[in-house]
Each structure stands twice: as structure tokens, then as C-alpha cells.
Structure 1
Amino acid sequence: MMLVLAVIQLIAISAVSAALYDVTKYGADRSGGIPSTDQIARAINDAAIHGAGIVHFPPGKYLTGPIELKSNIILDIADSTIITFLDDPALYPPLDATLPDGKQRRIEFTPLIRGVGVRNVAIRGNCVLEGNGAIWWDRLPPPATRPIFIYFSGSHNIVLKNIIIRNSPMFNVNIIWSNSIVVDGIRIRNPESYKGAGPNTDGINLLSVNRVHVTNVDVATGDDCLVLDAWGYGKDRDPTHDVLIENSHMSIGHSGVGIGSITAGGLRNITIRNCVFDSVCRGVDIRTNNVRGGVVEDILYQNLTMNNCTWEGISITALFPDYKDKGWHPIGDQTPFIRNIRYENIRGSAEREGIYLVGLPESPVENIVLENVDMRSKKPNPILLQNTRNIVINGRRY
């Protein structure tokens, strides 16, 4: 994939030419006993002042508050290093930011690691990033908002490689209004549930992004393992497009790979292939409703294994989460359209329907092809179709 080569090459060139900024030279404590928030910030700011830099964490244990990344910075973390984030709410005040294109963004807590309006940034290392999530979940149980772990907004050329993210207070990776993104080899671990429903700990949450490659990730979390959304309001539409997700393992989450329910901006040209989903609620799903709008089209699912889905295996619904009003409505700006979806070489099992496709009376789910698909189900009828048009399942037209 040319995007991946271009972004990795760009970061590699930066690594060759950039100076090394060792956080311990700025006084960071690698015993884990003393917070190093200010020392880490000084290393990053020094690198940014000089135009670029590799901010290096030698082996050890570090304790820190939030980290703000700057353009042309590689956060390079030595193998087996553990960075633990402090849980004091006073360190994570509300964040107001203006993006390069003038968009305003406010989030209720400063993320643990953030980059807003940055370019050419990487976080890499066979290391552990520990978020102290249980303290936050007890303090602010669902559906309360808590800090996001890794957050990028309005940014370009982002690489996340090989890191382990553990116990995020809320979303683990959240990237919005950004492009040219590579997520490679990262591992995410959050509990399946915590005193009830999973505490909004989406693994990888991408909103209004394009030119994205996610590969070799391993996600087990209490909410969606990976979700793609697209923001839109009125005439302002920010689509998600040109996304490849491959060679990955997802488990125990609400969905293996979910599209929506924020669909107003439109999502297109997305491929999910060569992945295994274990004990997720839904294997792959597309979800929206008649107030979300947007066009979801040109999606390819290929070579997937879905073991023990606790709900549906393959799911499309325009009645998410469970809209009671299932009658006909005039087509308008908020009407969603789901079409041109293809599933190839998929095997698995589900507690509910193996194939669940539900559209709207005024906007049927249409042009869906399932080829060489074997989704076993405990339901007497493993296929449910409502408000659909031109559906082909293993050569049979419905």
C-alpha cells in the first residue's frame, strides 16, 4: 500500500536526520517514583524548537501527567519500558483547541497523550502505556466522560507502532479530522466489563479520517475494538474514506470492526481483510439510523473468521440502536443510504443471526453480495432480511 510506504519512509527520513533528546537528560526519573511530566515536556519542546527530534525514553519506569506532542517528533520508547499516567483529575482539565482549518474542538478532559494540528508524528516502542483506568471508572462510571488515552485531531502523517496500551480511562486511540495514518502492531487491553457495561473503552476510534492503514493490531476491550465514523452536520460533511484494516485480531469487544453510528459525513472505499474476531458481540457491523444520514458504500470484507459472536456475525442496521419507529419517512438530509457492500470468504458462528441486514422502508439496504460465506447460528433461521434490495448470498438472490 503506497500510503504506508510513504508515511513510514517520511518518518524514517526524519529519524535519520533528527537529533536525539533523552528525557533522562532533562531530569526524568526512570525509577517510577517521581513524576516526570515537566521534564518530558521540556524534551519535546526542545526538539520542536529545533524543528524535529527523537524524544527517547531509556529503559525504565516513568510516572507522568499528560504529554503534548509537537510536529516532527518521534516518541521513541525503549523495549520493556512502562509509562504510567497519573490519575489526578486536576492534571487533565478541559481542552479547547482550534484546528488548522479553523474547526473548534472541546473535550472534557485533556487526553493522556495528544497531538492537535500536528504533522509527522510517531509513537513507537515495545513498551507499555498504563492508563490507571480502574480509578477513573470508579470515579466516573459509564456513561460519564473520562480522558482519552491517545488523541490526534486535525493532524497528518501519524504512526503508532508496537506500543501496548493498557487500562485506558476511555477511548484508547481516538483520531479525528486527520489523514495519512498508520497503526501497526499495537496491542490494546481493557477489561471486558467493569461493574456492568464496558466503560466506553473503544480500542481504535477513527472519525472523519482518510488514507488509513491499520495492520497487525491485537485489541481486547470493553467497547468496540475498532470503529470508523464520519462527522457531518447540515452542509458540513467530513467523510471517512480510503481505509485498509488487515491482519489483526479483535476479541471480547462490542464489535470487531464497526462502521457508524456516526455516518452523516459518509464512509466509502474501506477494506477489512485477513482478520480474526473472537467472542465479540458482533463480528462486523454497519449501523446508523434515520437521523444520522450519510452514504455508506463501497465496503469490502474479505477472509474473516468470527468465532462465537454473542450477537450477530454480519450485521447491517439502519435502526440503531433499537429504533421503535420503523415506519416510512420522507427522504431528506438525515436519511442514511447503505449500498455496494461485499463480503467474501467468511467463516464463523453467532448466538443470534449469522447474517442480519435491516434497512429503512424509504432507504433499503441494497446491492449486498455475500460470497463463500458460512456463518453458523443458534437461530432456526440464521438469515434476517428487512427492507433490503438486490441481496445475493452464496449465489442466491433475495
Structure 2
Amino acid sequence: MKSTLMVLLGGATACLTVAFRPAAGPSAQPLPTGSSAAADLPNLPPVLQASFPKDTFNLTKYGAVADGQTLNTEAFRKAIEACAASGGTVLVPRGLWLTGPITLKNNVNLHLAAGALVQFTADRSQYPLIKTSWEGEDAIRSQAPISGVDLTNIGITGKGTFDGAGDAWRPVKKSKLNETQWQKLVASGGVLSEKKDAWYPSAASLKGNQLAAAGTPRKSLNPADFADIRDFLRPNMLSLTRCKQILLEDFTIQNSPAWTIHPLLCENITLRRVTAKNPWYGQNTDALDLESCRNGLVEGCTFDVGDDGICIKSGRDEQGRKRGVPTENFIVRDTKVYHAHGGFVIGSEMSGGARNIYVSNCTFMGTDVGLRFKTARGRGGVVENIFVDGVDMTDIAGEAILFDMYYAAKDPVPLLGESTAPLVIAPQPLNEGTPQFKGFRIKNVTCKGATTGILVRGLPEMSIKDISIENAVLESKKGLVCQEAENIRLKNVALISTDTAPVMEVQNSHNIALDGIRYTSGAELLLRVTGDRSQDIRITNTNTKLAKKDVQLGDKLAKKTVLMSQK
């Protein structure tokens, strides 16, 4: 598959060919330009690039001192304001620069020289409470360490590092640390929960978390109403809102209080060779959250964080639907994700929708889930036209490929010792909060080690539709679990599962094509079908004789529910 990305560079338009590799594995080569495999992919709109005059404004000329002790907030402000007057680059030289929040301005490229470390202060009082957004809804939070609002032509570049002092903000569960780590954390200060199983940086942080856990968060949008829980209101680290022509390139950004890189309602984003690092136990520390953004390229990045890696969002529930701005027209490629909740993720806050997303040549190592598409009743929104070609995964704790419209509810997949049949999800009436997943094309995927190879879990009132998975090798405990779905096609998929009773499970789904399925010889059961709404399930080009039993049907299902054409 191939798509063309038009890029405007200094007034000249260039054309980048986005090629998807023909086979899984690190040694596979890109398709040549003009391959017929790209026939079903549209061209994406232009991604306008940021560009800056050559003028350079050295931070030291504005009073900055690189001693790790001097607070350089005012020096950053002066340098950025001076640069914005005519445009150019603010140069942060090698050294340790302590600072409070940095606010970007139009036509400014903040450039960190190699060896530059911008250390944001752990003094939470330096971050004023402001009206902003949190997890897809309007909220009061602390000001982000780096932020920009309503800007055009901005950049953050260079091989230096930003450190967000996230340890001063984030709560930590005792279960996440070994005993030595826990004792060291407790000795550092802060407060413990009543059960002594969680640490909080302060009493204000604990109070805010308790209010949230009790389901009684404050609905006010007046910052003064939150002074007593300000430490709970962790900021996203790099927050860009309604900005255009953004260049983020080469830097490392780490130790974030919450989400790490968060463009909201932005256009024309280029994110290239950026490294995001957070502790694996760091709550809400997503690497990249593209929320209601249009037109962009993410490539060559490395993410190792405590929550989702590459995440597509578009607002939460009623506010997201009212905003009505999908994240669309993005290419994500050549990126590695470690120790995240999900490698490439859409949702769960996707109420404005997502479409025209292309993912290729990515590697996920040690993530909880590989390809993670999640939503829930109440979200609304449509996710469609998602293309994935070339993803390799190892040591996935949960699902290699997950489509879940029942997110945050009890997992209907049975636990050890429980019934092997999935639980029935009760239907609810369709309304504006009913989400939709449709039109996914996934190919050339390998996974070595997961709990489940593929889990598709729709809603009885709104099935997951039109999913194609082709050329995949998935080594896992369970093979396929498919609930409340229609028009699902697996072609040339190897389900190398240890739990072979059954290899594949289908419930209340129809128009399911299982073509060229490979599985472990001697499997107890190849396919179990349950649910009185299951129909039109086809097994073709598959050696069903390798299993001790080929098909098991639930009560009230006729034999014609499953049609087999043996290989």
C-alpha cells in the first residue's frame, strides 16, 4: 500500500511517497513506488511545514544561568518574546537549565543543543491553575511545563532533553514497586492512603484523587475553586492547542506529570525522531495524544512510557461530540514503543471520530496491548478508514490486536476455571452516544507472545464492522475471540495458541470469513460458535483435520451456520 503526502517546504511543494512494506519482519523492504497495492488508498492533503528565519537568540543573553539552581523562567520568557518579534530560533546551549513553565510564541523554534537539559522545577506552585482540557473535556489543570495556544509556525528541535519533574506530581501504587523502592519513596515525604497501599506527593494530591475515585469531581471552571487540590491537577507536559505548522524534532522529553505530548485541535504536525520516556508505573503518562488534529506525519520516534504509546483521540462523550472534530489524515511510521499500555491506540476518548490513519513499520516490545482500539457506550463517534501494514510485537501482556467497544466494563472473556463461553452483553437502545468502529485494514503483523492474538468485542446494538486482518503470525495463549461483529475477514493468519479448546471463538457475529487459517496441530477444537444471532461463518483453505474436532455449535444454531471448504 502507498499514499502520497504533499509537503510544503519553504514555499516549494514536495511529494513524499509513503510506502508500506510487503511482509512482516525487520528485513522486509518497502514497496516500490507505483505498486498496485496502493490502489485503495487516497492521497492525503498537504502537511504544511514550519520554517524559521536564520536569526538566533541565545538564552544566555537574557540572563539565564546553567547551574541547575537558578530559576530561568524569566530568561526563557524574554528570549522567546525577543525571537517572536521577527521570528527565528531560541538556542538553549549545553547545560542544566532549571525553569518554570515555558510559553511558546508564533514563528519561534525552541532549539536544544546536544547536552542541553531543561529541568522543570518540582515546585508545583510555579504552575498556575488554568482552564484547559483533560481527557477530552474542559477542565482546570496546572499550566503545562511547555505550552502554546493559537499559534502558527512553531518548532521544538535539537538533541537536548526536557525533564518534567513528574515524580513531584504523580501518585504511585505500592504494588508497582519492590519493597526497597517503596520504602525509599515513603521516606522522601508525601502522604499515604488509608490502606497504606498508595503514595501521594501531598495531602492536596490525596484529596483530589479521593474526590475523583468517589465519582464526585468538581465541575467548576473557576481556577480559584481548586486551590485546595491543586497538586492533584497534574499538567500534560507539552500542550499545544489550536496551533498550526508544528515541527517537533530530535529532542528527548521525559518524566512527565501526565500526558507527554498533547496537540489539541492542531493542524499540520510533523513529529520526527522524538524520544518520550516515563516510568512504567507512571499513571496517565501517554507518550503522544493527537486529539482532534488534522494532517500530520509521525516518524522515527521512540516511546517508553507508563500508559498508551501512540494514541489517537477526539474528545470525550457529549463535549467531544459537540466539538465534532475528528483526528484525521495522519501517517505514523518507523516508530518503536516499549512498556506502554498500548503500542498504537485509538480511544477511548474518540467521540469526535477518527479517520484516514496510516500506520506502518512499527515495533512494539513489552506493551500491554499491541494494536489497541477502544471505546465505550456513551462516547459516540465513528472510527473508520484505519490502515496498518507492518507491525512486529514481542512480549505483549494482553491482546496483540484488540477492538473493544466494551472498554472499562467487566471483561466478558472468561477467567481460568470459569465457563469457556463468552458472557452475553445485554443490548441497549441506539442513541448519539453509540460509538462505531468500521473499515480497518491490517496486514503483515507478527507477534511473539501475547495472552490473546485477536479480540473483537462489539456491542449487540452496534457491532464492529468491516475488519480485514491479512498475513499475520500471532503466538499467544488464546487465538481469536470475536463477539458482536460483522464482516470480519482473516486471511492467511497463523494463530499459534497454547489454549486450543478452542483456537477460535465466535459469538453473535455474522459474515465471518476465516480463510487460510494456520494453527497448532492436535488442537482440541478449531472453532466454537455460540449466540443465537451467529450466522454465515465460513472456513476456507484451512486444514480442519489438524484439530481433534473442527466445529462446536451452541444451542439453537443450525449446522449451516458454519460452512467449511477444506484445504
TM-score in terms of structure 2 length: 0.65
Identity %: 29
Q: 1:175: Cα distance to partner?
A: 0.9
Distance in 2, Cα, partners of 1:264 & 1:130? 32
Contact 1:313–1:349 (CA<8 Å) still a contact in 2? no
Matching of residue 222 in structure 1 with residue 255 in structure 2: no
SS of the counterpart of 1:41?
helix
Distance in 2, Cα, partners of 1:60 & 1:234? 45
* Residues 168 and 72 of structure 1: CA distance in aligned 2, closer, same or farther (over 3 Å): same
CA RMSD of aligned residues (A): 2.2
Letter in 1 for 2:148: G
User: Which structure 2 residues correspond to residues 239-254 of structure 1 after superposition, within 5 A?
Assistant: 239-254=326-341
Distance in 2, Cα, partners of 1:233 & 1:30? 43
Distance in 2, Cα, partners of 1:209 & 1:39? 31
Aligned partner (choices 49, 52, 63) of residue 14 of structure 1: 52
Matching of residue 335 in structure 1 with residue 434 in structure 2: yes
Contact 1:15–1:74 (CA<8 Å) still a contact in 2? no
Matching of residue 317 in structure 1 with residue 404 in structure 2: yes
Matching of residue 36 in structure 1 with residue 124 in structure 2: no
Aligned partner (choices 361, 369, 383) of residue 468 of structure 2: 369
SS of the counterpart of 1:313?
strand
Larger deviation, residues 57-66 vs 304-313:
57-66
Matching of residue 394 in structure 1 with residue 491 in structure 2: yes
Give the aligned length.
Answer: 384
User: Which structure 2 residues correspond to residues 1-398 of structure 1 after superposition, within 5 A?
Assistant: 2-6=5-9, 13-16=51-54, 19-48=55-84, 50-96=85-131, 106-137=139-170, 138-139=200-201, 140=205, 144-193=232-281, 198-231=282-315, 232-322=319-409, 326-379=425-478, 382-394=479-491, 396-397=513-514, 398=537
Q: 1:133: Cα distance to partner?
A: 1.5
Contact 2:358–2:386 (CA<8 Å) still a contact in 1? yes
Contact 1:247–1:273 (CA<8 Å) still a contact in 2? yes
- Deviation string for 1:66-85 (max 9, x for gaps)? 00000110001111111101
Any stretches of 5+ residues in structure 1 without a counterpart? Answer: 99-103
Q: 1:116: Cα distance to partner?
A: 0.7
Any stretches of 5+ residues in structure 2 without a counterpart? Answer: 13-47, 171-199, 213-231, 412-423, 493-512, 515-536, 538-567
Distance in 2, Cα, partners of 1:233 & 1:360? 21
Q: 1:3: Cα distance to partner?
A: 4.9
Q: 1:305: Cα distance to partner?
A: 0.2
- The aligned residue for residue 25 of structure 2 is none
- Between structure 1 and structure 2, the one with the greater Rg is 2
Distance in 1, Cα, partners of 2:399 & 2:321? 33
Contact 1:4–1:213 (CA<8 Å) still a contact in 2? no
SS of the counterpart of 2:53?
helix
Distance in 1, Cα, partners of 2:123 & 2:428? 48
- The aligned residue for residue 41 of structure 2 is none
SS of the counterpart of 2:86?
coil
SS of the counterpart of 1:192?
coil
Larger deviation, residues 340-349 vs 144-153:
144-153
* Residues 236 and 13 of structure 1: CA distance in aligned 2, closer, same or farther (over 3 Å): closer
Contact 2:276–2:304 (CA<8 Å) still a contact in 1? yes
Contact 1:311–1:350 (CA<8 Å) still a contact in 2? no
Q: 1:6: Cα distance to partner?
A: 4.2
SS of the counterpart of 2:52?
helix
Q: 1:51: Cα distance to partner?
A: 3.4
SS of the counterpart of 1:39?
helix
Letter in 1 for 2:383: V
Contact 2:469–2:489 (CA<8 Å) still a contact in 1? yes
Distance in 2, Cα, partners of 1:212 & 1:7? 17
Letter in 2 for 1:67: I
